[in-house]
Copies of this chain bind each other. A is one copy, B any other.
């Protein structure tokens, strides 16, 4: 186990009907609110009205930043910052999924900063303060509701960048599993893949002697695997939705499950190069690439993949070599993603091999990627070929 620091100050308020706690949560903070949301779904399902009612009850002054994109844009964030400054707003309330929350975080850190918020994404300036932020989550996936991370896209410069800051942790996040009943099946699938991928990125680590953290990772994986299929068959199964929601939050809440472990985000980086060229969801790319990354790297640390197969997928080790056990676990991962309806190949998404060179080179633009196994352009190319 490596040395580490860990802190996660976000308060989570979890359960059916917890949107009704919004007023009392806000009471601790300001009453001049920027309400941030995406498309019309929260208006269609009544959540918008519920939120407005809570805000009215405490006499809040509310301005809105709506239409936040699935890949939130820095231009939208800048609009939010201006609204806050113009109307002297002192609290940001995000209602939506990871994109909405990420945009709201960027607004929160941007308001007290004299320069342009994009500086934080380019790591040209350090975040030292933020407006307080609260969230109401409508989609289990990114963990953004209990961490300080944000991913923002700048289309003018063709860049997708991220920041992480202790100041960007939400003060509170309201997690009501019933709000996810109406999430379309493909988005539920993406959320499952996203949550599992977050765990993989921590679990497949070069760090040794981390038995508790490994088990915490395995606990989330097993629970997502079981409950993902239930939620897809019964979208309004409260327990399945609640279990998925808690798993999504715990999977990426500031590293609680992987304290003292080096992470490996190379699959994430490879996928970003695919979705930089083709308009696919991040989780769709992860579903395709992750099992192939596993096939390419598993020999770097066979014991971890054997453990993964046996503990997470209940692969019976009897009569098998370690390599066979590991490969059975990887195949089980692939089969699960396929079974829930996530894509298996780039071909499934009508993507052919003509951009593999470009994607491989872009992935390693700043040098080799990966800590579990270091990958150069050729290695990335091979993983992408496996993914065709």
**Which residues of A pack against B, CB within 8 Å?**
1-18, 209, 211-212, 215-216, 218-220, 222-223, 226-227, 239, 242-243, 246-247, 250, 256, 259-260
Contacts and interface: CB of A to CB of B under 8 A. Distances in A.
20 contacts: A3-B18, A4-B15, A5-B11, A6-B12, A7-B10, A7-B11, A7-B12, A8-B9, A9-B9, A12-B259, A14-B260, A15-B260, A211-B227, A211-B243, A212-B243, A215-B215, A215-B219, A216-B216, A216-B219, A246-B260
Nearest to A210: B243
Nearest to A223: B212
A223 B246 contact: no
Contacts of A6: 11-12, 14
B1 A5 contact: no
Nearest to A1: B242
Contacts of A15: 2-4, 260
Chain B CB within 10 A, most for which of A12, A219, A259? A219
A143 to B, nearest CB: 14
Given A12-B7, A14-B259, A223-B211, A1 B243 contact: yes
Contacts of A216: 216, 219
Nearest to A237: B209
Contacts of A3: 14-18
Nearest to A217: B219
A209 B4 contact: no
A220 B211 CA distance: 9
A34 B227 CA distance: 50
A125 B167 CA distance: 32
A226 B215 CA distance: 13
A256 B246 CA distance: 11
Contacts of A7: 9-12
A352 B220 CA distance: 46
Given A6-B12, A11-B7, A13-B5, A212 B246 contact: yes
A243 to B, nearest CB: 6
A340 to B, nearest CB: 18
Contact of A212 (B11, B212, B219): B219
Contact of A243 (B8, B209, B222): B209
Contacts of A10: 7
A132 to B, nearest CB: 14
Contacts of A4: 12, 14-15
A366 B80 CA distance: 55
A8 to B, nearest CB: 7
Complex A-B, nearest 3 residue pairs according to Cβ-Cβ distance, in ascending order: A3-B15, A215-B219, A7-B11
A14 B5 contact: yes
A212 B12 contact: no
Contacts of A2: 15
Contact of A5 (B9, B12, B242, B260): B12
